[in-house]
Chain A
Amino acid sequence: MSTLSAPVHVRGLTRRYGTRTALEGLDLDLWPGVTGLLGRNGAGKTTLLRCLATDLEPSAGRIRLLGRDPERAAERARIRARLGYLPQNPEFYPYFTAFGLLDYMAVLKELGGRRARHDEVRRGLERVGLTDRRHSRIRRLSGGMRQRLGLAAALLGDPEVLLLDEPTIGLDPEQRIRFRGLVSELGVRSTVVLSTHQIEDVAALCQRVVCLDEGRVVFDGTPGELVDRARGHVWDHDGHPGRGHTAWRLADGRYRVLTPTSAPAGPGLEPVEPTLEEAYLLLTGAR
């Protein structure tokens, strides 16, 4: 299959803010399924999502979304009709009701006439468990509820490309499970990009992981491949291995130690099966 036919096709994407480069020469092809976007703060995740959401213009490079060129106004409009985007910390007009906001977004997304639109809005509220708060003004909703509302807005019309920037912030465990169910269902036919610091969400949802560091892709593969890379670098130890290692105390009093090289850092180290989070930490060289 040609990479050009990928729903998300990125070549040489560069984005600068003044003299600072947020993304540098990024190449990426994304297919239907859920892709986790990982990286430290400032790695370029939000910038990448905003470029993919056609909210931000690239400084250089080329993006094709759903086979269309977002540089062209008419095509950009078509892309936006089939794209869902939940920005980081979304702010909504506080005097809208929950229903009013989704109705407004549904109008903007061209979701048909009034009846079809309202059906879709009700479905959206039902999906995120806000049906009973549909008449509440947004300023009266909790942070978690607003987050769910933003998610419902992004999911309106079952978009073919769904871009989620930190979608599970403020969600309680029950809602996070519900969210995972929604996104995994949508990932069967849509291209979902999930930018998050919640590694367990990535582990639970994503078929693919892309890690960014300083605007560059430092890993692109499956979660299993990322974990594989970490094998032989994660250990348990009776005491703290000393400065220079990434280590933390476990509940049983022992220490989990990450070593960038596969050679043990010292005696008494016991190899353990790495988690995705540990693999990510090793990848980004966390201290």
Chain B
Amino acid sequence: MSPALPRSAGTFARLTWFNTVRLCRNPLLLPGTAVGSYLVLRPDLYYPAGLPMWEGWYDDTTTTATLVGVLMFVATAFPAMREARYSAAVVAPLGRSGRVLSLMAASVAVSTALTALAAGWELWLLSSPPAGTLSPMALPTPFLMAAAGPLASIALVLWTRSYLPLVLAVLAVPAYWLYGLALAESRLQSAVSRVEWAARVALHPFTMRAPAVTDVAAHFLAYTALVVAALVFLGLAARGHRARRTVCLAAVAALLAGAGGTVLHGRWAQPRDAPIADSRIHGAPEEPCEDREGITYCPLPGFEPWVDHWQAALVPVLDPLPERALEPGLVVWQESSSYTRGLEVPEERSVVVYSYLDPDDAYWRADLAVNTGQAVVGLPSPYGIDACRADGQARMVLAAWLGAAAVGEDRSQQVEALAMGMFPRLPSPVDLETGLALTEMPPERVGRVLEEHWEELSAPETDTADLADLLGVELRETSTAPADGADWDRVYPELGYGDLSPDPWSLTWPVCS
């Protein structure tokens, strides 16, 4: 007999609705999704990490989708078993393949709805419109990931005629928990870590996650879609005539080959550290940068509203500086947290900002201000490949003071910001004391000194003692060697840095010139 066709879309739709309702009644599914979504969103709710971004929302949605996929993997095993083992009694217009397809459609609908619900919930909770962009190519992928769970479950059950998905889930949960306990070097840990690695690779076999980059997102979408299609055919291949099973298995092989090819092509097209030009990012404007009051801001596409925040945070940094300090122009450019941005910026006189912004966070403002101060005085970042020692240099203390000036009036925050700006530079006790004295002076007074002696103070040859002299600060500290914990405790007792010692690795850096 040739394969039975459903009489009409109506019967298929009614059965799909029937399956959907029954799946939704599974006692694990809705509570599990609610709890899982809460756990995913909890850090954002209780420890908000800056202004919302589409990429953060997307990452959360992907995590939730994976969770939904796992829950559906378990929940769908039951109706799949109904079709696998208990359908012999059923002689109906809708044949076995039609019923399996209906169950697949229902499970995909439920997983899609749950993922959409969780994603919508997070979107609704966001404090402001998210920044950044998402490629339309990235949007279907989490839903396909969620759908892969139930489809894999159906295929497993139909092939084995057993509750294998439940067995796997029951074994995986305790194994994963034990994995986190004291089982170092045990065989179980090794096995679990291998399975976890395989799962991670299967879920994301590409070199990066970059949902804003259209071609990267397209590769991921194609891979996920091919795997999902392969799971559908794998399920259909479990039953029916030999010819149809052969065709379905051939389709599975072809689709998996396609998925493998997509991965290879994706990894070849986008190596891990290869920079990505803005033109490859969805929604990128033709001109990525804009000039404001002598500073060029280059946000990532979709982050243009953040320029106002960057500019506002830099006002207290730029105010005490003479105008000539900003010549040649300063570039504040945004680096992506998920890939290397291919943007041509001058190596010196540039400040990197990342995809994090919290206008109320003093630490964030101080970090931006210190980085800007360092760029203004010509110091490279202490965290880059060209890191260097600037202890004893007046410009290092000035850069740290600019950071402290950006946090506002709070004295303790000012001291923390000052310490944060100096700490990676291995400051001496003289540096520490001079910095502290700067924060205690009116900014106007420091500004006047900077106006008069900018070229001298921003030069690497000028040491901190010279700065103290110019400001009329009488120093009690005399040591110019890198401060140890006792020095920190003596000058900044409120910080509790007594246990710290200079990083030996930093001591090997060359002196900044």
Q: Would A57 and B82 be within 8 Å (CB), given that A91-B88, A108-B93, A109-B93 are in contact?
A: no
A91 touches B4 (CB 8 A): no
B6–A55 contact, CB under 8 A? no
- Inside 8 A of A100's CB, which chain B residues have their CB? 22
The chain A residue with its CB closest to the CB of B8 is A110
In the complex, whether A218 has a CB less than 8 A from a CB of chain B is no
A-B residue pairs, 8 tightest by C-beta:
A108-B92, A77-B93, A93-B82, A90-B89, A93-B86, A85-B91, A80-B93, A81-B93
Residue of B at shortest CB range from A85? B91
Indicate which residue in A71, A76, A103, A153 contacts B89 across the interface (CB closer than 8 Å): A153
Given the complex, which residues of A lie within 8 Å of B5, measured CB to CB? 73-74, 77
A83 touches B6 (CB 8 A): no
Decide yes or no whether A171 CB sits under 8 A from chain B.
no
Which residues of B lie under 8 Å from residue A90 when comparing CB positions?
Answer: 88-89
A153, B91: Cα distance in complex, Å = 11
Q: A72-B2, A73-B2 are in contact. Are A105 and B85 (CB under 8 A)?
A: no
Knowing that A73-B1, A110-B10, A153-B89 touch, tell me 17 more A-B residue pairs with CB under 8 angstroms.
Answer: A54-B1, A72-B2, A73-B4, A74-B5, A74-B7, A77-B5, A77-B7, A77-B94, A78-B93, A85-B91, A91-B85, A91-B88, A96-B82, A103-B18, A108-B92, A110-B14, A150-B89
- Interface Cβ pair total, 8 Å cutoff: 81
Q: Which of B10, B11, B92 has the most CB of A within 10 A?
A: B92
Give complex CA distance A110, B444 in Å: 85
Q: How far is the CA of A73 from the CA of B18 in the complex (A)?
A: 24
What residues of chain B have their CB less than 8 Å away from a CB belonging to chain A?
A: 1-7, 10-11, 14-15, 18, 22, 78, 81-82, 85-86, 88-95, 99
Which residues from chain A sit less than 8 Å from chain B, CB to CB?
A: 53-55, 57, 70-74, 76-78, 80-81, 83, 85-87, 90-96, 100, 103-105, 107-110, 150, 153
Taking a contact as CB atoms under 8 Å apart, the answer to whether A108 and B15 are in contact is yes
Are A57 and B1 touching (Cβ within 8 A)?
yes
Query: Closest Cβ of chain B: how far from A184's Cβ, in Å?
Result: 23
> Which residue of chain B has its CB nearest to the CB of A117?
B14
26 pairs of residues in contact across A and B, judged by CB atoms under 8 Å: A53-B91, A54-B1, A54-B91, A71-B2, A73-B5, A76-B1, A76-B4, A77-B95, A81-B93, A83-B91, A85-B91, A86-B89, A87-B88, A91-B85, A93-B81, A93-B82, A95-B82, A104-B18, A105-B92, A107-B14, A108-B92, A108-B94, A108-B99, A109-B93, A110-B11, A150-B89
Task: Determine the distance from Cα of A87 to Cα of B78 in the docked complex, in whole angstroms.
Answer: 23
- In contact, B3 and A73 (Cβ under 8 angstroms): yes
CA distance A206 to B11 in the complex (A): 35
The chain A residue with its CB closest to the CB of B5 is: A73
Expressed in whole angstroms, the Cα–Cα distance for A1 and B7 within the complex equals 31
The docked-state distance in angstroms from the alpha carbon of A90 to that of B81 is 15
Which residues of chain B have C-beta atoms less than 8 A from A77's C-beta? 4-7, 93-95
Give the residue among A71, A77, A105 with the most B Cβ atoms within 10 A.
A77
Q: Evaluate whether A91 and B15 lie within 8 angstroms (CB atoms) in the complex, with A71-B1, A83-B91 already known.
A: no
In the complex, A70 Cα to B5 Cα: how many Å? 12
A110 CA to B98 CA in the complex, in Å? 14
Across the interface, which residues of B come within 8 angstroms of A153, CB to CB?
A: 89
Q: Judge whether B2 and A110 touch: CB under 8 Å.
A: no
CB distance A92 to B91 under 8 Å?
no
CB distance from A105 to the nearest CB of B (A): 7
Closest Cβ of chain B to A101, distance in Å, is: 9
Residue of A nearest to B22 (CB): A100
Select from chain B the residue with minimum beta-carbon distance to A113: B14
A96 and B85 CA atoms in complex are apart in Å by: 14
